[in-house]
Structure 1
Amino acid sequence: MSKVIREYEDRWVLPLRGTHVTDIAVRGGNLTLRVDSGIEIRVGMDAELTPGSIARKDGQLRPLEEMDFELVQQALASEILSCVVGKSGALRIVFRSGWKLVVASDRGGAGTSIVEGTIPLWTRGGGLSSALGYPVRDMNEGRPAGDD
C-alpha cells in the first residue's frame, strides 16, 4: 500500500485503498473500524450508511444509531476502495461490499477521526496531521505539496 496522500483543492484521498476492515466495535459512543494496516477509523453514531449512490440523494442514507449492529458489521467488514476526507470536515469511505460510510460536514460527527496507533492522521476539527510523515502529493499541480 502506498502511503502517499493525494491532495485536491477541497479534499484529501487517504491511502487506505486495498486495506480490509478486521474489527468493528462501538466504543465510547463511536463506531470504530480497525483496518489491517493498523489504522483506526472512528465515527460518531450519527454517521450514515447507504447501499446506493451518495450523489442521488435518494433517501437511503441511514444513521448508524438507527441500524441493527449486525447489518453494520456485514456492510463494513469489507475491503476499502476509497477513503476521502474533506477540508470541510466531511468523510466518505466506499467499501467493496457496495456500502458507503458518510459523515456530512454539516452533521455532528463528534469524535470522528482516523488514527494510526495513538497518532492522528486526520481529525474532523483539525484536518490532516503531518505527525505520521505521510507524503502529500498536490494533485492540483501534479507535484508534492510544499515543493516550489
Structure 2
Amino acid sequence: MADIRIVREHALGLEQARKLAWRWAEVAEKKLDMECTYEEGKTHDTVRFERPGASGELHVGKDKFQLHAKLGLLLGVFKGKIESEIVKNLDQLLEQEDPLHAFEQGLAKHEAKKAAKHAKPHAEGHKPAGKTAAKAAPRKHK
C-alpha cells in the first residue's frame, strides 16, 4: 500500500478553506466515484474519502490543509503521478486570490475540454453506397 502525505499552508481562514474543501468533496464524489463524509469542527474539519483502491482524510484548518491518502496495489503504481497532480493543482489554487472561484473555473475548463474531445464531428457529407460498400457476411443457420 502506498501513502501520500501533503501539507499546504494557506491564508484562507477556516470559512473559506471549509468552502473549498466542501466543494472538492462534492466533485470527488461525482467525478472520482469517491464516497466522502464531511465533519465540521470548531477549529478544523475532516473530509474522509474512500473508493476501491484509495482512502484517506483531508484535514482542513484555518491555515493549512493536511492530506493523507492510502493507495491500494493498483493505484499505488501511479503514486508519483497522483501525488504530483494533487500538489500541482493545490498549489495553483492556493496561489489565487479566490481559490474557490479558481477551482470552479478550472472545473468548467476541464468539462469544456472533455466535452469538445467527445463531441462528434459534423456529418462529413453523404457517401453513396457503391461497389466499395462493404457487404454483410452471409449468416449460417444452425
Tell me which interval the TM-score lies in, with the shorter structure as reference length.
Answer: under 0.3
Q: Relative to total residues, which structure has the larger helix share, 1 or 2?
A: 2
Query: Greater Rg, structure 1 or structure 2?
Result: 2
TM-score calculated relative to the size of structure 1: 0.24
